[in-house]
Each structure stands twice: as C-alpha cells, then as structure tokens.
Amino acid sequence: MKALQSTRLGMMIALFIATASCVGQTVKFDGLAEQKYDITKPKDVTASACGFQLLLLIPINTNSRAHRAYDNLIREAGPSYVVRDVKVQETWYYAAVGTVYCTEFEAIAYPKIIASTGSESQGSEPSVPDEPSAPPDSSAPVEPPVPTEPSAP
C-alpha cells in the first residue's frame, strides 16, 4: 500500500513538472495609445522568435517565443519610435526529432513626437504640433457671406 502511494505521489510530481512548462508569458500592447507620433514618417519593422518541441513532449523556448518576438520588434523599431498596427503570424514545421514553432510580428513604427522644452540648440528634433496653427489674423471677426438673389436669365 505504501509503495502505491509513493508511486502515485511520484507520478503527480512528474505531471506537475511536465505541465508547469506549458505556461507562457502574455504579450501586452498597452501604453501605445498614449504616445503621440508623426504619421508622415512610417517605417516597417518585423521580428520573429522560434522555439522547439522535442519529441512533441519537451518544449524548448516554445512558450516564450511571442514575448521574445515582441521584445525584438520594439528593439528593431528603436527607442524613439512608437509601434502601431501590429500583425501576428504563427508558423510551424517538422524537424527530425520534433517541431519548430515560430511567431512573427509585423508592424509600422512611427517616430515619437517629443514635446519642445525650449532648448532647440541641443540637437533635438522639432516637434510636430497636434493641430495646425491658426492664421495670424484669426482674431479679426469674420462676417458670414451675404446671400444674393439669383439673377434672371
């Protein structure tokens, strides 16, 4: 009886260890909406990451591939860019003793708009205004057009 209990306990521990490797990291795209960016200078960026499933049982870098691919995408875009319009593609293919799983991210990176601090001489790029500036004489009152009667033919 005691041997049966220790066998069950050993199987439960092995099952726990095997299923613990099935947990992956979540990729969150939060924080992108708050960034202001210049839509006139986009650049395409792509990044991917792969993992291997050995003998269809043992995951090697499989569950972290989406997180690694997104980190690579952000690194590829650069720190002065905002990543938008992200597309995800999953691919897989057989290898000799397992399966290779890959995650690829494609996105458009736009340059961030940095608020002007008044020190333009430090080499910072000028910021693009949020709204077009008003003409200089916008304070003058504008009169609506006077309707005219149609002329007779």
User: How is residue 133 written in tokens?
Assistant: 């500036």
- Asked whether the predicted pLDDT for residue 104 surpasses 90, the reply is yes
Between CA 47 and CA 38 the distance in angstroms is 22
**Identity at 22, one-letter amino acid code:** C
DSSP 8-state secondary structure symbol assigned to residue 148: -
One DSSP character per residue, 56-124 reads TTEEES-TTHHHHHHHHHHHHH-TTEEEEEEEEEEEEEE-SSEEEEEEEEEEEEEEBPPPP-S-GGGSP
pLDDT of residue 36: 83
- Asked whether the predicted pLDDT for residue 126 surpasses 60, the reply is no
pLDDT level of residue 152 (50, 70, 90 thresholds)? low
Mean pLDDT of 86-113: 93
- Is 70 buried (19+), middle (13-18) or exposed (0-12) by CB count in 10 A? buried
pLDDT level of residue 116 (50, 70, 90 thresholds)? low
User: How is residue 83 written in tokens?
Assistant: 């990543």
pLDDT of residue 11: 72
Locate tokens 């708050």: which residue?
34
- Asked whether the predicted pLDDT for residue 26 surpasses 90, the reply is no
Mean pLDDT of 135-148: 48
3-class SS letters over 13-46: HHHHHHHHCCCCCCCCCCCCCCCCECCCCCEEEE
User: How is residue 123 written in tokens?
Assistant: 């080499």
Between CA 84 and CA 105 the distance in angstroms is 11
pLDDT of residue 13: 73
- Asked whether the predicted pLDDT for residue 39 surpasses 60, the reply is yes
